[in-house]
Every structure is written in structure tokens, then in C-alpha cells.
Structure 1
Amino acid sequence: MWRAALTELVATALLMFTLTSSIISCLDSQDVDPKLLVALAVFIIAFLFLMATVPLSGGHMSHVFTFIACLKGLITLARASIYVLAQCVGSIMGFLLIRRVRNHQTAHKYYLGGCTINANGATSAVSRETALILEFSCTFVVLFVGVTVGFDKKRCKELGLAVVCGVVAGVVAGAMALAVFVSVTVTGQAGYAGVGLNPARCLGPALLEGGVLWDGHWVFWFGPFLACIVYYAYSINMPN
């Protein structure tokens, strides 16, 4: 369990570093419409990290997947708690790296990943209501598509570990890219880089930058966890 938790910590830190840096670069590029670039970056990076970590720790790297795995009884509450702690520490480490290597002006413009919620009427963000709806609906889409495939024990036995890793990585990464693309298309604000699908994504920036990033920060936690609960209630009534 501890080795798996260490994998989650390192993987989450590197995921936050590479994914957020890529998203900032896409948003700061001269491309007229960077939305497709952001979605493509999310797909490629998420796919590679999932392929590397699914056999080692389950490839969670997100409180969302850890929480739903715990609800479904695939991991214990103790393991889930350690995973969540590791992911939080990994998020902080990843954004510390970004803070050190990125141009400060660029990093500040996109608030280290675009986690701004319009709690004070700022024009560079989205409203709490919009962000909450996006977090809930997009997280539910990722769970409905990715978890339904990835947590299918019968299919895992039939296909084997190698094939399952590829299928899960592709499906989950694709669902995440679709969710980010939809949310960025809906909002189109520099201070908001789409749904987080992972509370840890915005925890690091909030702790490091503070200020406006704490306004409405609860949305990045409540929306995904509510989606997990609703998806779990739906999944237990699904036919086997």
C-alpha cells in the first residue's frame, strides 16, 4: 500500500506539472482557438500517465477515482485516505515546480492552471453556479464512460491486464479530454481552464497563490464528490 501511495504522490505531482504547464502554454499560444489544443494535451498526457500507473497503484491520481473505488469496495477506506493525502501532497509539489520554472507573469495570468471562480464579480472567471454544474456533469460523464469500463471485473479477466490498461487509459483519457473541451468551450475565460475533474488540481494553486483562488474553491470538491455519489447510486442499480 505504501509503495502504491508513493506512486500516487509522484505521479500526481508529475501529472499536475506536465498537464498544467501544457494547458497554460496552449492558452498563452498565438492560436486563435486553443480549445482543441487543450483537449489534445489532456488526452495525450492523461493516456501516458494512466498507462504507466494503472498496473502499479490503479492509476487514480485523482480524489474522484479514489472515492468511487472506495464506494465500490475495490479499495479499503484506509488505502483511500492514504491515496488522497498522497495526491494532495503531489499536487502541491507539482505546482511548486511550475512556480519555479514558469514565467511569473504568465503563471499569474492563468492562476497556475485556471482555477478562478467568479466569487467577486471578476471578468476573468466563471460563476460558482456554472462551475459547479460543469464539475458535476463532466465528472459524471468521465465516471459513466471510464469507470464503467475500468471497473468491469468480468471484462478484465477476459482481456488480460495489458489490454485492459490500454483500454482503460484510452477511454478515461478520452472522456477527460472531452469534458475539458466542453467546459472550456462553454466558458472561454482565461482565468478558468475548464473542469478540474480532480480537487487536487486546484488545491496546489490555492495554497501557493491564495487570494482569489480560495473564492468558490469548494466547487472543485463538492461538484466531483456529488457526481461520485450520484454515479454510485446509479451504478448499483445497473444490470450486471
Structure 2
Amino acid sequence: MSKEVSEEPEQQQHGKDYIDPPPAPLIDWGELKLWAFYRALIAEFIATLLFLYVTIATVIGHKKQPGLCDGVGLLGIAWSFGGMIFILVYCTAGISGGHINPAVTFGLFLARKVSLPRAVCYMVVQCLGAICGVGLVKAFMKNPYNRLGGGANEVASGYSNGTALGAEIIGTFFLVYTVFSATDPKRNARDSHVPVLAPLPIGFAVFMVHLATIPITGTGINPARSFGAAVIYNKDKAWDDHWIFWVGPFVGALAAAAYHQYILRAAAIKALGSFRSNPTN
């Protein structure tokens, strides 16, 4: 008896109660009246602007120095994208959730983490921020920007549109899957004794995907990034391939949301079990 009494507080100390948070309402017009909502939009706009400014400037700077030992190289470009996501998600997570990517916003909307009005507004300000960020790069580096491709996403020579689309789908799936895993409240409750900084694995996911897909598409996995670069660069090739950088990320985000919610979290099985256990059914 004394042993059981002594072990119970220990279990309570190491355990942590968990309740699934309720899904966000599909449409919540009330949040449009809150300053916190507009503060989140401003945070997403500025974060995406900074993200595009630093990363596209890195791409242009690399192309200005084509020698083997000059510039940051492809590894440096991957670090630029991954590092900026780590920094900006860390800075904005407590304000807007740190999406900085319409595909991430779309995946979280499908999982009912954000409402439809918030998701649409996030995507709009992310695209506007991306345009402004790339515009700053062109203003500061006009001649090399126009001469070296503007950092726009295009299907590389030797690869088909189908290959590029597949690379974007898989890359975005990996990113959004990481976002779900790193921010899963159940995991945080279960592993509360393990300190996990969510922006770190998200930034590393972006870094790893860039290493794999820069030679194929320049790596989109972020429709705002691709859209901002295409708008400012405004060349036919960039626009001809542009659909890939919306369809691929959105399909990848859809697959990641479904995988996390219905396979890893087994939401469908839980719902069915709850239905069967209800005595009124």
C-alpha cells in the first residue's frame, strides 16, 4: 500500500494531462475585429518580406561569383533559406504562428488549426511581402538581378514538368509534415521533459529540401516565394513554369495534413470509436 502511494505522485510529476484542443471554426468573422488578428497579418508580411530579401539576395550574390571557390555556393543558399525560416519562425511564432508560406497556412487550415478568413488573409499578405522583399533586392542589385535570373523558380534544363512537380510535392510534404510534428500539442505534453525548439526542425527541413531540389526547380515549396520572384522578374519562362510552384506545394501540404491527422494521429479511428461507444447510436 505504501509503495502504491509513493509511486502515484511520481507518475503525476512526470506525466502531463492532455486534451485535444478544439478545432478552429471554419469561418470566424469575430477575429476580424481584433487587433491581434491584424498584428498577426503585419508579422506575416514583414517576415515574408525579410525572408525573400535575404534569400534572393543570397541567390543573386552567388550567381555573381561563378568560380568554384567564390561565393556561398549551393550549400550556402540552402543555409540561407533554412536559417531565415528558423529565425523568422522563432520571432513570429507567438504572434502569427510563423507560417511565412501559403502551403503551410493551407495545411494548417485543412487540419482546422486556423479559420478560412485567417488563412486567406495570411496568404495574401505573404504574397505581398514576398513581392516587396524581391523588389528591394532588384532595387539594390538591379543589373545583376536582371542578368542572373532574378532568383525566380524555373524547371531546370534536362528535367520535365512532371519531375519538377513531383519534387515540389515531396519537398512540401516533408516541410509541412515537420511543421505538424514540431508543433503537435500532444507531443509537447507527452515529451514535456524534452525541450524542443519548434523552429529548429522546421528550418532544418527547409535546408534539407533545398539541398535536394535546387538543381531541379531552384526549390519552391513556398508559393509566396515563387510568386514574388516571378512578379518582379516577369519573364515568360518563369510564368510558364509558375503553376508547378502552386500546385506542387498545395498538393504536398494536403498530403501532409491528411497523413498527420488521419494516420499518425488516427483521427478517423478515434471518431469511429467515439461513434460506436455512444449508447444512443
Q: Distance in 2 between matches of 1:205 and 1:126?
A: 21
How far apart are 1:227 and its partner, in Å?
A: 0.7
State the match for 2:61 in structure 1. 25
Change in CA separation of 1:156 and 1:198 when aligned onto 2, cut-off 3 Å: same
Is 1:43 aligned with 2:82? Answer: yes
Cα 1:157/1:109, change in 2 over 3 Å: farther
Matches within 5 A, 1:2-17: 2-17=38-53
Aligned partner of 2:276 in structure 1 is none
Q: 1-side partners of 2:51 and 2:91: how far apart? A: 12
In the TM superposition, residue 201 of structure 1 has moved relative to its aligned partner by 0.8
Other-structure match for 1:176: 206
Q: Which residue of 2 aligns with 1:238?
A: 263
The offset of 1:30, in angstroms, is: 4.5
Q: Aligned-pair RMSD on alpha carbons?
A: 2.1
The match for 2:116 among 52, 72, 77 is: 77
2:125 paired with 1:93: no
For residues 1-240 of structure 1, the aligned pairs below 5 Å read 1-30=37-66, 32=68, 34-104=73-143, 106-117=144-155, 123=157, 126-150=159-183, 152-157=184-189, 167-184=197-214, 186-187=215-216, 192=217, 194-212=218-236, 213-240=238-265
- 1:232 offset after TM fit, Å? 2.0
Alpha-carbon distance, 1:149 to partner = 1.8
Alpha-carbon distance, 1:145 to partner: 2.5
Show CA shifts across 1:138-160 (max 9, x none): 1111122332222x112345678
TM-score after normalising by structure 1:
0.84
SS in 2 for 1:148: helix
The percent of aligned pairs where both chains have the same amino acid is 27
Letter in 2 for 1:146: V
Greater radius of gyration (CA): 2
Deviation at 1:95, TM superposition (A): 1.2
Match of 1:57, SS state, is: coil
- Partner deviation per Cα, 1:193-217 (whole Å, 9 max, x = no partner): x211111112122222323221121
Alpha-carbon shift at residue 114 of structure 1 (Å)? 3.5
* Structure 1, gaps ≥5 residues long: none
- Deviation per CA, 1:133-188, whole angstroms, max 9, x where unpaired? 111111111122332222x112345678xx55xx211100000000001112x43x
CA contact (8 A) 1:117 1:215 kept: no
Q: Contact conserved, 1:47 with 1:173, CA < 8 A, in 2?
A: yes
Q: CA deviation at 1:126?
A: 4.5
The count of aligned residue pairs is 223
- SS of the counterpart of 2:151? helix
Q: In structure 2, what is the Cα distance between the partners aligned to 1:115 and 1:211?
A: 11
Does the CA-based 8 Å contact 1:131-1:195 persist in structure 2? Answer: no
Counterparts of 1:32 and 1:141 in 2: how far apart (Å)? 30
CA contact (8 A) 2:152 2:229 kept: no
Whether the aligned pair in 2 keeps the contact of 1:64 and 1:224 (CA below 8 Å) is: yes
